[in-house]
Amino acid sequence: MNAVNLREDYHIHSNYNDHSSPDLTIANVVRRAEKLNLHTIAFTEHVGKTSRWMPEYLSEIELLSKGSSLKIIPGFEAKILADGSINCPEEYSKDYFLIASFHTLYNDKDIWLNALRIAINNPNVDVIGHIAPERTFKMELCEVQDLASLIVENRKIIEINAKYHRPPREWTVLFKQFGVKFHLGSDAHRLEEIGNFENISDLISLVLKHDPA
């Protein structure tokens, strides 16, 4: 069963990066999520191996979690690099919720596909974020099927991403057929984007739609 929940948002950023709204503080995110009657949120700030702000970020999340009715998950979003490694310090990728996503165009299907497969096999990765092929290449049906099998085998979650409207519709249907698990992520970089899944209502319907008898 792939029962995604509209009261859960597993991809929220904060002002710990330099391209979110300045008012996207940890405290404001929590207040906004409470006002929206969400019951689970995940902070997934962009991280790199040279980042140094993580202790302060995690401490702030822990402090605010104690006084909130929300289930608040501390975590990170890290780039999938060309060699398939994840751009996150290992001590954080091991111990915290981790979304692995492409943020670089490789313009080469072999590089992209090999990197994705390695990321899916990485035991520290929990979620593959906003997955879709690059515009410079197309995926064959058998290749998407192989990815679906690998995702299920490694018990990864595929994010239905509101910012980028991903995965592609046909991938979503195929993933569901293979038993892939999904959850929702707003990929919020502004307060008003938290828990806002209107843009992906069609993808949500595909996931929730009953299979033919």
* Residues 42-60, mean pLDDT to the nearest whole number: 97
Partners of 101 in the β-ladder: 79
- Average pLDDT of 22-30? 97
Mean pLDDT of 85-91: 96
In the chain, where does DSSP find H-type helix?
26-35, 54-66, 90-95, 109-121, 141-153, 169-177, 201-208
Alpha carbon 102 to chain centroid, angstroms? 11
**Kind and range of the H or E element at 76?**
strand 71-79
Domains of the chain with bracketed CATH: 8-208 (3.20.20.140)
Take residue 149 and report the two structure tokens written for it.
């099998």
Q: Is the pLDDT of residue 2 over 80?
A: no
Does residue 22 carry a pLDDT above 80?
yes
Mean pLDDT, range 160-174, rounded to an integer: 98
C-alpha dihedral over 145, 148, 149, 152, to 10 degrees?
-170
pTM (2 d.p.): 0.95
Instruction: Please give the Cα distance from 16 to 24 (Å, whole number).
Output: 9
Cβ atoms of residues 112 and 105 within 8 Å: no
Helix locations, 74-168, DSSP H: 90-95, 109-121, 141-153
